[in-house]
Amino acid sequence: MCARAASTSDCTKKSEPGGEGKETFTISPSANATTVTPGARENVTLTIRPSRRFKQTVKLEAKPLQDGVKPSLEEKEVTVDGSNRDIKLTVAAVDSAAAGKYGIRVTATPEKGDPTTFDLDVNVERKREDKFEITGPLTSTNVTQGDSSTATVMLRPSREFKQTVKLEAKPLEDGIKCEIQDRSVKLNGENREIKLTVTADNNATVGKRNIRVTATPESGGPSYVDVTFNVKKK
């Protein structure tokens, strides 16, 4: 997934920004995404590419979009004098970080002009020795207002994974209720199907709703999957 630019300065542009006559700049990462395991950290290089006339101090800020990852910048303020500047961004995942996708929002603010913002994707993966994953349907499941519908989530452990896993399901939006088949399952290296039942309120707004199913093992961090249900009118 590409790092997403949130201003007129596109983080994916490779040509010199703005031409020689304008004081403009772009900022882009060395990779659109990085992968890190709980308790570890990875480095990403950010490059500021100014036009030749751009000579300003640029302030940098990096913020996590979700709990579980922590960014730190090598420099929070750099002087740019018409030449490219590289800055190291370190992304760390806390020990309890759940496996899944996270984001880091980086903002570069010049002395004059508008700031440039982009989001860096961070994939947190479980350590191999404890590996299991939880997956849901590839497509959304339909449910009618006032009715119930069932989807299947799958626990996929490695052959060596032999632990009890606790399960929790929570709606991420209003208008639906959910119930999971098992709140705790013993995995012994084999896949396990779990039924997730969702009931839509009679007055639930038509459209997509998400249920987050979190699986927490005896040791190691939790993993989660978001299961999408599509509420249909009666």
Say if residue 77 is exposed, middle or buried (CB neighbours under 10 Å; 0-12, 13-18, 19+): exposed
Q: Is the pLDDT of residue 158 over 70?
A: yes
Higher pLDDT, 11 or 188: 188
pLDDT of 11 strictly over 70: no
Number of domains comprising the chain: 2
Residue 113 — φ and ψ, nearest 5°? 100, 180
Using CA atoms, how far apart are residues 197 and 93, in angstroms rounded to an integer? Answer: 32
Which among 124, 155, 181 is the end of a domain? 124
Average pLDDT over residues 7-34: 63
Average pLDDT, the chain: 88
120 lies in the same domain as 133: no
Residue 109, domain CATH: 2.60.40.10
Tokens 């996708």 label which residue? 101
d(CA 47, CA 15): 13
**Residue 56 corresponds to which amino acid?**
Q
Same domain flag for 45 and 96? yes
| Boundary-marking domain end, from 80, 99, 124 | 124
Residue type, 136: G
Cα separation, 233 vs 20, in Å, equals 56
Range of the domain at 102: 4-124
Interval 193-220: pLDDT, tens? 999 999 999 999 999 999 999 999 988 8
pTM here is 0.49
